[in-house]
Amino acid sequence: MFSDKGMLDFKEKITSAISLDCEAEADRIATFLKETVGKRLKRHGVVVGVSGGIDSSVTLGLCVRAFGAQRVVGLLMPERDSSEDTLKLSRAVADHFGVRTIHEDITAALEGFRTYDLQEDAVKRVISEFDKGWKFKVVLPSVIEKESLRVFFIVAQSAEGKIVRKRLPKEEYLQIVAATNFKQRTRKCFEYYHADRLHYAVVGTPNRLEFDQGFFVKLGDGSADIKPIAHLYKTQVYSLASYLEVPDEILNRAPTTDTYSMPQEQDEFYFSLTYDKMDICLLGLNNNFPKDEVANTAGLTIEQLERVYKDIIQKRRATQYLHSSSLTIEPILEGQN
- List, in order, residues 6 or more apart from 27 with CB less than 8 Å away: 65
DSSP letter string over 51-109? -SSHHHHHHHHHHHHHH-GGGEEEEE---TTS-TTHHHHHHHHHHHHT-EEEE---HHH
Does the pLDDT of residue 107 top 90, yes or no? yes
Distance separating alpha carbons of residues 263 and 111, to the nearest angstrom: 21
Q: Does the structure show a pLDDT above 90 at 255?
A: no
- Determine the pLDDT at residue 335: 62
DSSP for 211-258, please give it. HHHT-S-TTTTT--SB-TTTTS-HHHHHHHHHHTT--HHHHTSPPB--
Min mean pLDDT across 76-85, 105-114, 213-222, 255-264 is at 255-264
H or E element at residue 188: helix 170-198
Q: Is the pLDDT of residue 1 over 60?
A: no
Res 6: pLDDT = 52
The more confident residue out of 263 and 179 is 179
Per-residue pLDDT, 208: 96
Query: CA-to-CA distance for 229 and 60, rounded, in angstroms?
Result: 11
- 3-state SS, residue 165: strand
Beta carbons within 10 angstroms of residue 145's beta carbon: 11
Least confident of 4-8, 49-53, 118-122, 263-267: 4-8
Helix (H) / strand (E) element for 17: namely helix 4-18
Q: What is the mean pLDDT of the chain?
A: 92
pLDDT at position 336: 64
Chain segment 134-147, per-residue pLDDT in tens: 999 999 887 777 66
For residue 132, name the pLDDT band (cuts at 50, 70, 90): confident
Task: Report whether pLDDT(3) > 60.
Answer: no
Query: Which band of pLDDT confidence, cut at 50, 70 and 90, is reported for residue 262?
Result: confident
Residue 269 or residue 67, greater confidence: 67
Residue 104 in this model has a pLDDT that exceeds 90 = yes
CA-based nearest residue to 203, from 188, 186, 217: 188
CB 46 within 8 A of CB 201: yes
Confidence of residue 2 (pLDDT cuts 50, 70, 90): very low
Confidence of residue 254 (pLDDT cuts 50, 70, 90): confident
- What number is the average pLDDT over the span 95-121? 98
Question: What's the average model confidence in pLDDT over 34-41?
Answer: 97
DSSP per residue, 128-156: TT--TT-EEEEE---TTS-SS----EEEE
Taking a C-beta distance cutoff of 8 angstroms, is the pair 137, 260 a contact?
A: yes
In this prediction, residue 334 carries a pLDDT of 67
Say how far apart CA 31 and CA 136 lie, in whole Å. 43
The pLDDT assigned to 279 comes to 94
Question: How many percent of the chain have pLDDT more than 70?
Answer: 93
Question: What's the pLDDT at 108?
Answer: 98
Residue 95 scores a pLDDT above 90: yes
Q: Each residue of 201-210: pLDDT tens digit?
A: 999 999 999 9
